[in-house]
Amino acid sequence: MRHAAIWLLALALLASAGCAARSTAPGLPRGVLEAREGVATFYGQEFHGKTTASGARFDMQSLVAAHPTYPFGTIVRVTNLDNGRHVQVRIVDRGPAPSARAAGVVIDLSYRGAETLRFVRAGRARVRLEVLSWGDRSQP
């Protein structure tokens, strides 16, 4: 009888853990899988038409971005913390460079992304990243 009670308890814990894994993390808005804040920069003309780390051609007028670890294809909402403007981008490249990351840069946006957030002139902005969907996690 005692053995059966332990099995039932173990099953109940496993079932509740499975439910918790599908729910939104505490403190995050519904539909947001991960959030972080930092600085955004952008890249444009000098990389336009070149091949990205994912193999796609970089188009500075598309809503794409580079992130050091997010899987390619991940959709991220980027919000400019100074003006509240936001944009959704798809991760297609790796970056920012290690020296920029050391300075707090968490994402490199395409020119169009920076234009949408209105920080082209400044060159950088304080932002919040919110992952809305993960790309293919089997990709490097």
Domains of the chain: 30-133 (2.40.40.10)
13: pLDDT strictly greater than 50 = no
3-state DSSP: the chain helix, strand, coil percent, rounded to 5? 25, 30, 45
4: its two tokens: 């059966």
pLDDT (tens digit, 9 = 90+) per residue, 65-116? 999 999 999 999 999 999 999 999 999 999 999 999 999 999 999 999 999 9
pTM of the model: 0.79
Q: Is 37 left (phi over 0), alpha (psi -120 to 50) or beta?
A: beta
Alpha carbon distance 70, 135 (integer Å): 8
